[in-house]
Copies of this chain bind each other. A is one copy, B any other.
Amino acid sequence: MKLDFSVAVHSLFYLEENSPRKIASRELAGCLDLNAVVIRNILSVLHKKGYIEGTVGKNGGYQLKRKLADINVGELYDVTIPPTISYARFITGKSEGIKKDDHISNNMSETLTDLFTLADDQYRAFYHRFTLADLKQDLYHHGYVKQLIKNNDK
Contact = CB atoms under 8 A, between A and B. Distances in A.
B90 A142 contact: no
Contacts of A3: 89-92
B126 A9 contact: no
Number of copies of this protein chain within its complex: 2
Contacts of A7: 92
Q: Is chain A's binding surface mostly helix, strand, loop or mixed?
A: helix
Interface residues of A, number: 54
Contacts of A33: 92-95
Contacts of A95: 33
Nearest to A91: B6
Interface string A124-154: 0011001000010011101101100100000
A44 interface: no
